[in-house]
Amino acid sequence: MTGIILQGSSRSDGDTAAVVKQLAQLLDYEIIDLRLLNFSDYDYLAENSHDEFLPTVRHIVAHYDHIVWATPVYWYSMSALMKRFLDRISDCLRIEKETGRQFRGMSMSLISVSNDERNEAFETPFILTADYLGMSYLGDQHVIVGNDHDIKSQLTAIVRKLKSC
């Protein structure tokens, strides 16, 4: 399975980045830091269709069969940056359906990051998105980053799962 990790933190050198770095090494996956991508909010008029969103999605569906969404927990939910990227997938249902259709048959998983436990509903948007796009949802791992928590050991189960697919 060839995979790409979409990093959705508001900082490129924070807790999520530390987790993503280890995950990418363990799985030999590429990383896209969404913070460095030039793309704007979903626009009903698609006047932003020439920003970097569509070329990025075209690249993803052409080269990978698995997407790892890696987001910090911000206000009990995914980051606004990651939500913006998800919102823009509506472009692939409205103005570029051929790209949208290519999600079908791919798979996804979720990594969330915070300094505490996470609520159970957190993964619901990802599970439902996978279902809507015809993708398999392979699971999630919440990683707690802090003094007493080892990142690598928390990634063991999800890495084993993804390597077995």
Ligand X SMILES: Cc1cc2nc3c(=O)[nH]c(=O)nc-3n(C[C@H](O)[C@H](O)[C@H](O)COP(=O)(O)O)c2cc1C
Q: Which residue's Cβ lies closest to ligand X?
A: 14
Q: How far apart are CA 161 and CA 20, in angstroms?
A: 16
C-beta of 118: minimal distance to ligand X in Å?
Answer: 7
Q: At what angle do helices 80-88 and 53-63 cross, to 10 degrees?
A: 80
Q: Measured between alpha carbons, how far is 16 from 113 in angstroms, rounded to an integer?
A: 6
Strand, helix or coil at 70? strand
Part in contact with ligand X (CB under 6 A); list of ranges 48-56, 96-104, 108-116, 131-139: 108-116
Q: Return the residues of window 74-103 that contact ligand X according to CB under 6 A.
A: 74-76
CA distance 125 to 145: 23
Q: Segment near ligand X (CB under 6 A), from 3-11, 26-34, 44-52, 81-89?
A: 3-11
Q: How far is the CB of 48 from ligand X (least distance, A)?
A: 24
| 72 is a site residue for ligand X (CB under 6 A) | yes
Query: CA–CA separation, 17 vs 9, rounded Å?
Result: 7
* Positions 4 through 23 that interact with ligand X (CB under 6 A): 9-11, 14-16
- Footprint of ligand X on this chain (CB under 6 A)? 9-11, 14-16, 72-76, 113-116, 145
